[in-house]
Amino acid sequence: MQHIYIIGSKGIPARYGGYETFVEKLTAGQKAPDIKYHVASRRDNTELSQENDVFAYNGAEIFSIDIPNIGPAQAIAYDIKALQWAIKNAKDIEAKAPIFYILAARIGPFMGKYVKQIHALGGTYLINPDGHEWKRAKWPLPVRKYWKISEKGMVKHADLVVCDNRKIEEYIQDEYGAFKPATTFIAYGTDTMPSSLSKNDATVENWFHEKNIQENNYYLIVGRFVPENNYETMIREFMKSDSQKDLVIVTNVEKNKFYQKLLQTTSFSEDKRIKFVGTVYDQPLLRYIRENAFAYIHGHEVGGTNPSLLESLSSTQLNLLVDVGFNRDVAHDAAIYWTKEDGHLARAIDAADHYTEEQLFNNGKTAKQIIAREYTWQKIIAKYEMVFE
């Protein structure tokens, strides 16, 4: 039996988040009979974790980890405690050649010590470094410096670096070439099934009526409400456009400092087209909202293969993406690309508004073909199982 310890997600059952969804899909879609997954879960992740130290889910063993309330350092403490548990468990069950797969590069300064223990077990250490966490504007400068140092340590000691975007793989090879890192590219996946809801479902009717939105008459943004996702540029440029459609923003917005700053710098409240509609946790409803958007606007520029981008390519007929290597690597020619140059996105929106039905159909078809070729969960799971076996 090949024992795989997965550390770094909040745990499963997944409530939200890219890593959590990945682990949920990986375990639920397991095909290889000789793999046994062991997954770390934060104690506060779900009721199952709160009530059990260890429990089974999707055929995996889930182990709950208590973490002290120490602010931003919680994530570091969580990964260390989870890795300690995993190493001890591998010893206890005498696992043969166990694999320790760590999601996100948070504990680099400590990895030298733990890699020695992993190798002493005959084990292997894999890291998925995610995107450029050290570039995220939400972190103060000292924290960003720590993330960069941590990334270096995680890559230096890794037996294999799994990159979810080819541009991340290129970056790892260029930035850390002195370590001669072994790397592989395995993307994130997405669901391709259409929404189970239709126009006449009460859930759909109520949501669209409540938000005062009409199908196929809105541009859509879905994502975390953080500066590096370029909300200010997207809102400001949409306000400059001549579009008669709405801009529907699905995000966990609270009237926080970032929201107040945006309000001050863009005066978006004076534009009736701009509609913050809160979060949508109902997945069939969110899929329906994506499918019935006129177009999707994507401003993420820090991560690798972003889950929200894959979801939009698989469901929305037209995508307007900020022009960074990560996004081009995924969408190729099935998108309109925009830069942060003044007026660029506004012109792209006006151009999109004049797309013909044929252009919209062909664009959507090309995007779906890309997803079917490279980004279905079945294909992603098969690639992981080949690596693990």
Q: Could you report the per-residue pLDDT of 343-358, keeping only the tens digit for each?
A: 999 999 999 999 999 9
Same domain, 230 and 177: no
Same domain, 14 and 53: yes
Q: Give pLDDT, residue 23.
A: 97
Same domain, 255 and 362: yes
Tell me whether residue 149 is in a domain.
yes
Query: Going by C-beta distance under 8 Å and a sequence separation of 6 or more, which residues neighbour residue 59?
Result: 27, 30, 37
- Residue 349 Cα distances to 47, 208, 332, 358, angstroms: 44, 23, 19, 18
Please identify which residue in the block is written with the tokens 């087209």.
273
SS3 103: strand
User: What secondary structure does DSSP assign to 118-141, as a single string?
Assistant: HHHTT-EEEEE--S-GGG-TTS-H
Same domain, 208 and 342: yes
Q: Specify the pairing of strand 60-65 against strand 54-57.
A: antiparallel
Tell me whether residue 196 is in a domain.
no
DSSP state for residue 195 in the 8-state scheme? P
Same domain, 34 and 68: yes
Among candidate residues 252, 72, 229, the one with its CA nearest the CA of residue 137:
229
**Residue 38 is encoded by which pair of tokens?**
């062991």
Query: Going by C-beta distance under 8 Å and a sequence separation of 6 or more, which residues neighbour residue 117?
Result: 87
**Residue 389 is encoded by which pair of tokens?**
């076996």
Same domain, 142 and 253: no
Q: Could you report the per-residue pLDDT of 83-103, keeping only the tens digit for each?
A: 999 999 999 999 999 999 999
**Domains in the chain, number:** 2
Tell me whether residue 197 is in a domain.
no
Tell me whether residue 157 is in a domain.
yes
**Residue 25 is encoded by which pair of tokens?**
């899909």
Please give the Cα distance from 372 to 349 (Å, whole number).
Answer: 27
Same domain, 140 and 61: yes
Q: Which domain holds residue 384?
A: 2-189+376-388
DSSP state for residue 378 in the 8-state scheme? H
Please give the Cα distance from 248 to 23 (Å, whole number).
Answer: 29
Among candidate residues 102, 104, 103, the one with its CA nearest the CA of residue 114:
102
Same domain, 165 and 291: no
Tell me whether residue 195 is in a domain.
no
Q: Give pLDDT, residue 133.
A: 65
Q: Give pLDDT, residue 255.
A: 66
Tell me whether residue 176 is in a domain.
yes
Q: Give pLDDT, residue 226.
A: 85
- Angle, vertex CA 64, rays to CA 58 and CA 66, nearest 5: 160
Tell me whether residue 25 is in a domain.
yes
Q: Contact 67/78 with Cβ under 8 angstroms?
A: yes
The answer to whether the pTM exceeds 0.85 is yes
Same domain, 369 and 380: no
Q: Give pLDDT, residue 385.
A: 98
Other beta carbons within 10 angstroms of residue 336's beta carbon come to: 19
Please give the Cα distance from 271 to 48 (Å, whole number).
Answer: 45
Q: Give pLDDT, residue 138.
A: 66
Positions in the chain whose pLDDT score sits under 70: 131-139, 255
For residue 181, what is the domain's CATH number?
A: 3.40.50.2000
Same domain, 95 and 178: yes
Same domain, 369 and 382: no
Same domain, 160 and 270: no
